[in-house]
Structure 1
């Protein structure tokens, strides 16, 4: 054990001194969070040490695993850092999962302790909440693997996968961010919108922000007006970090005020239609940056200035290739817990299931959407991503999901009342007949995953459709 309780356990999480060295280092008075009251590094370190003591009293030991089922909160942040600092593995469970989903995950991963809210949390639209925690002993077993974090994929196109990442892997990604042109710098702010349970909010927001000395500012509520208030709450430059869903929140503000401190918005997740990015940039006068990544490897590539849209440039140290129209990412080991699936990882390469090409001269990567979005209609190849993109350009269409259900079916969410026949007439001027949806269904809200990604599961869409 090193000074102040940071545990070094060879063969477990490769030692936990990295938490102090990479995430908690820096002047004691540096502000880490504004909630809106400030939380400086001295306070954060003290809270983390307190959490370590509580975990130890509940039977948590170095080399063990702790399942965290907490909403976005200081309780989540401090328990996560305490688990790592104690030499343990953190299993991150989205607080929005059902009790059945949580129970299945816990039974499979067998943590030593489970940390959950002590009483029901009424979060509403709040992005950060105050929560009392309950730390319950679950088993006496050590962690099943040496990974520092275990996450569940978002499952937008199928069942969730269990993914593990080592401490070295996480630190490598944090340092990778520091080499990307356009990321927030020390003394600046990140208006943090995505969940810290998932990779964009976890590494791109929380871990990078702590390492780089960037203030993390969750808005009071998940609304366009509250996001603007968070941007305007300080004079130092602010970057909004989110997913395409959050662009819609900002776009819903009719007449946003002048925001000289608003530097850019960076979005991860799905591809953003050109019409949406152009509208956003015209409204706010800042670039809409793109970040492409996966839970399995973190950030893969970026275009933070919107210069190469829809292409991205691979992040430093990331090797990307296209094989048969599919993007592969170099990764020495399989990120999946359990049996290695050669259809997803083999010979040091991770298959992304994303269609794309790599320009041999510039190295830019163009992502064409999900590989399973390419279907055959009457012997003609149709890229459903192209159909979605085109539908998104039509007036009044807020979001679109196109699936192949024996025929091409489109599910639309509208921001203004439109006649379906009129939409189909406009689409006929843009797409060849064999590419057009046979059926168009209008939903009040398209189903989304816990990370805000549009769900493309046919069964779920059928159930949601009127």
Structure 2
């Protein structure tokens, strides 16, 4: 069991910067469409729904300085629940609805919320973009009020290790919204954002949902996160449209054989790993739209961007974000540590957060280039090997759709390919491209790579090996990387 982060006595409302929900997120003409899920939701309707949920939370015992965990799938209910919690002056913890019962139990033990908001009935559907759900509010015995002024608690993705509890104050979220507002080319009032990234994780939450509400851009959740579902969501409105997602979703769209003409589609912006060059070319050529990229992390939100793809792979630090590189590591200037509970004290020192990402800054242009994780460097026979270099070399091979390289008993590669012949010739192809000490000791074939809730490939060797064993025990499947349609 983790260390609970709750306190023992109520504190003042976490909304120390004023009523930021009303003043920033719910402001505006009530007739304007704020959200579009199964149908349009005006700002007046959203305000009404949030107020009604706020009353239900109060009836369940929530007061300013209280704590509530929201574990709902992408839905109007999820959006209303988090806004109602913040409007009540409470600390809101967001839990991904895809977590197992065991994982939810561990998270609740760490966070100790007073209330949990969950679906009244379990939901399923891997490609669903949103759900129609009724929310159930459950008071928890032993739940504790907030011990800090963080408005938001999230768990890190856990792609490389155990999750950390990350806190964001209202001031931190407002500062990130200000950075988005100052980004040239990010959705503005009168435009639309089709949000594919999860709205309970930082990219979809702040860059998609909260920015859209604050800026007056319509926030659209597609009914289905398939090629057809996403394209229908884009085509449903004639306003300038931006798609916000992750690289794997770009690959799904790029795989469409004959993309439709969508003049309203301005660009897609992805967070996470850099999109493969071949995927980028297929997307930009097929749709006649730009493909931008963002670098960020749960601890701070958006850090640097290249919204047009013109500077690939370099990025421009976001307005107001202090970034420097120290001994090859990217550091962020933050007013306080984002971590809640026990954590590595060396991670945040003298106002600077160590990201554990390798990077460099061009002294002339000021552009930032992210080179991968610092912990991707391992020693093989006394020689340094950068696993990200090996991974990039494999991913660049024709017919390889995706690859993850980790270090366990040796260098291990887990790959997705277009056809069996590509995998059969992989060892020979790598022999011509990598020195012997850099080559993977084992090559493993997967039809799907395990991913975190945010869509990042898992880099835990044990989980990857388990996926290989599971795939070997399953009936043979056709190797195919194109997106499923509906």
**TM-score of the two chains, using structure 1 as the length reference:** 0.95
Q: Is 1:414 aligned to 2:413, yes or no?
A: no
Q: Which residue of 1 aligns with 2:251?
A: 248
Q: Which residue of 2 aligns with 1:161?
A: 164
**In the alignment, is the contact (CA less than 8 A) between 1:15 and 1:87 conserved in 2?**
no
Between 1:179-188 and 1:400-409, the stretch displaced more is 400-409
Q: Which residue of 2 aligns with 1:237?
A: 240
Q: What SS class does the counterpart of residue 357 from structure 1 fall into?
A: strand
Q: State the Cα distance separating 1:144 from its structure 2 match.
A: 2.1
171, 174, 178: which one pairs with 2:177? Answer: 174
Q: Which residue of 2 aligns with 1:3?
A: none
Q: State the Cα distance separating 1:46 from its structure 2 match.
A: 0.3
Between 1:358-367 and 1:166-175, the stretch displaced more is 358-367
1:297-312, aligned counterparts within 5 Å? 297-312=300-315
272, 294, 299: which one pairs with 2:297? Answer: 294
Q: Which residue of 2 aligns with 1:143?
A: 146
Query: Gaps spanning 5+ residues in structure 1: where?
Result: 1-8
Q: State the Cα distance separating 1:93 from its structure 2 match.
A: 0.6
Query: Gaps spanning 5+ residues in structure 2: where?
Result: 1-10, 470-486
Q: Which residue of 1 aligns with 2:7?
A: none
Q: C-alpha separation between the residues in 2 aligned to 1:443 and 1:16?
A: 50
**In the alignment, is the contact (CA less than 8 A) between 1:265 and 1:287 conserved in 2?**
yes
Q: Which residue of 1 aligns with 2:24?
A: 22
Per-residue displacement from partner, 1:254-311 (whole Å, max 9, x unpaired)? Answer: 1111111110000001222323222322222211100000000000000001011111
Q: Is 1:191 aligned to 2:224, yes or no?
A: no
**In the alignment, is the contact (CA less than 8 A) between 1:13 and 1:63 conserved in 2?**
no
Q: Across the two proteins, how many residue pairs are aligned to each other?
A: 458
Q: C-alpha separation between the residues in 1 aligned to 2:217 and 2:14?
A: 30
Q: Is 1:335 aligned to 2:324, yes or no?
A: no
Per-residue displacement from partner, 1:133-172 (whole Å, max 9, x unpaired)? Answer: 1101114632122100000011100011000010011011
42, 48, 51: which one pairs with 1:49? Answer: 51
Q: What SS class does the counterpart of residue 136 from structure 1 fall into?
A: strand
Q: Is 1:259 aligned to 2:265, yes or no?
A: no
Per-residue displacement from partner, 1:23-70 (whole Å, max 9, x unpaired)? Answer: 011111111112241101000000000000010111111110111010
**In the alignment, is the contact (CA less than 8 A) between 1:344 and 1:351 conserved in 2?**
yes
**In the alignment, is the contact (CA less than 8 A) between 1:243 and 1:269 conserved in 2?**
yes
Q: State the Cα distance separating 1:207 from its structure 2 match.
A: 0.3
**TM-score of the two chains, using structure 2 as the length reference:** 0.91
Q: Is 1:62 aligned to 2:64, yes or no?
A: yes
Q: Which residue of 2 aligns with 1:71?
A: 73
**In the alignment, is the contact (CA less than 8 A) between 1:392 and 1:399 conserved in 2?**
yes
Q: State the Cα distance separating 1:441 from its structure 2 match.
A: 0.9
419, 432, 437: which one pairs with 1:434? Answer: 437
Per-residue displacement from partner, 1:170-228 (whole Å, max 9, x unpaired)? Answer: 01101110111110111111111011110001100000000111111111111011111
1:184-223, aligned counterparts within 5 Å? 184-223=187-226
Q: What RMSD over aligned residues (CA atoms) do the two structures have, in Å?
A: 1.5
Q: Which residue of 2 aligns with 1:5?
A: none
Q: Which residue of 2 aligns with 1:90?
A: 92
Q: C-alpha separation between the residues in 1 aligned to 2:128 and 2:424?
A: 39
Per-residue displacement from partner, 1:394-437 (whole Å, max 9, x unpaired)? Answer: 12211100112232211101233324342222233333333222
Q: C-alpha separation between the residues in 2 aligned to 1:110 and 1:408?
A: 40
Q: C-alpha separation between the residues in 2 aligned to 1:284 and 1:417?
A: 30
Q: State the Cα distance separating 1:363 from its structure 2 match.
A: 1.3
Q: C-alpha separation between the residues in 1 aligned to 2:426 and 2:339?
A: 43
386, 389, 399: which one pairs with 1:386? Answer: 389
Q: C-alpha separation between the residues in 2 aligned to 1:151 and 1:375?
A: 30
Q: Which residue of 1 aligns with 2:42?
A: 40
Between 1:225-234 and 1:40-49, the stretch displaced more is 225-234
